[in-house]
Every structure is written in structure tokens, then in C-alpha cells.
Structure 1
């Protein structure tokens, strides 16, 4: 075996699984954002959540993420969790859903990256004659008492900064 083959094999095995997968949503990097300008990375309507970020212009932390509620009256049909806490695994039903890359306008080597996974829930409801999914209180109570609880869909977000902060 030529000496280059073991090296190539070692490098291939060292690549993280997320880098080998392709997300369900394919998109170009977003427009570069200026320091101090808050911007939305991704809105997840099912979870009534919006992931917002801002480049700080500082060495530590160079970027700040936060999750905001989309509107006070929104009723979530899905949960948004931290990917570092749940460790999304395809064997457990997680799908690599989206990757958002936002470069810094002030520091060319700095990129904010949000990776989103989704796990479909078991809460799919049959549509009625009017095309609406309805939950009736009596039926929901009976299902809960019988131990038939529907799992909502879940989204997991991994928020990272890649590259070196400018000084």
C-alpha cells in the first residue's frame, strides 16, 4: 500500500459526521454583518422561536447568540433545544436540517455558524373535513389517562463561531 493511502484514510475518518452529511436545506452564506448589528439567523415558526445573533467586535466573545420568542400569543407545536445537550443522532430519528453561515463584515476570517437538526414528532393529527387538525379536550384527556401522549417535533440548534477574532 502506498504511504499516502493510510494518511488519506486517517484524514477521512477524522472528519466529523456533521461535516460529511448534507443538510436538508442548502443555502449560500448570508450577507456579511457589521459589528453591533443584531440579525436573525433562523426563525423556527413551529417552536415560536427566532435565533438572533450579533458580532460583538471583541476578542471574547466575538459573537453572541440568543433565542427570542417570535410573538407573545404564539402556541409552540415543537420544542427548540440545545444540540450540545441532546446530541442529535440519526439513529434516534434526528435529521440534519439546516446550516446557516454568517460572515463578519469587520473580520474576514470570522464566521458564525448555526446548525439545526429536526426530529419529527408523533403528534401528527388527522385532518377533519375542513382540512384542519383539531384536538378535542375530552379525547386528549382520555388519551393522556391511557398513557397515549403525543411527542412534539423537536429542533436542536448548535451555535458556534469559526475562525479567529480580529484584534
Structure 2
């Protein structure tokens, strides 16, 4: 689906969404986002996000070891994913930084490393097409404590992650 739409099936969970949004904002006050995703025991291969505008907030927790986030900070999208060298990457050790906000550019190549145990992750990001959101959808998210982005707030957020992922 393109653009931003508040899905009606989430209505019964407004209080939970509000709690998550407030927790994310407490961990990363400058965070702006339209979308929250919860993953459980999810390993994902090297990829670049295509449905969001870049700035991504990640919080990981649970009883796990490994499961770091490998990032290619200098990635330009012209290089094929399989041609990227691990020597040019950095790893955020999420098992050592549980429940710490990691801010990174999801449009640059990244992957979740193998892990053992029970791993949860919460991802918050801004979906492409967010500027076309209806007033109703925008106000609905803001009512649940989402910090709805503007072009300016996204630019500010991008500047904070230009060199290294912020933790």
C-alpha cells in the first residue's frame, strides 16, 4: 500500500499504540514516525528499506545473545547488496544495548545478525507518502502520541545520523 493510512483493525489497540509511541519518544525524543512494527525472533537478510523515507528507530529486547544490527553507513544505493563488503560495515551490538534506541538510515543497507534466544524488536519509521496523509489520519496518529513528521523534522533527524547510528 502506498501512502499513510490508519488501519481500522488497529482501533482496539489504541492504548497499546499510545504506550509504544510514548516509550519510543522517551527513548529517542527527536524521533518522528508514522509507523510502528513489532517483530519477534525475526532475522532479516541484507536489504534496503523501500517503503520508508529513511530514519528508523530500533529498540531491541528479550533474552537473547547476538542479533546485532549490521549497517553499511557509507552505502549508496548504486552498489548491489551482495557486492557490499562486511569490512565496510559496522555492527551495533543490540544484545549489549537492550532497550536503547538506535537511530539509523533504513534506506542504507542493513541486516540482522544471527542470534540465540528470544528477541523482540520495535521499529518506528516514516512511511513514504506521509505528506499526503489525510488530516483525519494525521490527527489519529497524533492522538496516540505519534510524533508526526514534517519535511523539516525529517531533515533534522537525517543530520543526526549522517556519520554513525545514534544510540
TM over 0.5: no
TM-score band by shorter chain is under 0.3
Q: Specify the structure having the higher radius of gyration (Cα).
A: 1
Q: What TM-score, normalized to structure 1?
A: 0.25
RCO greater where, 1 or 2, for CA within 8 Å and sep 6 or more?
A: 2
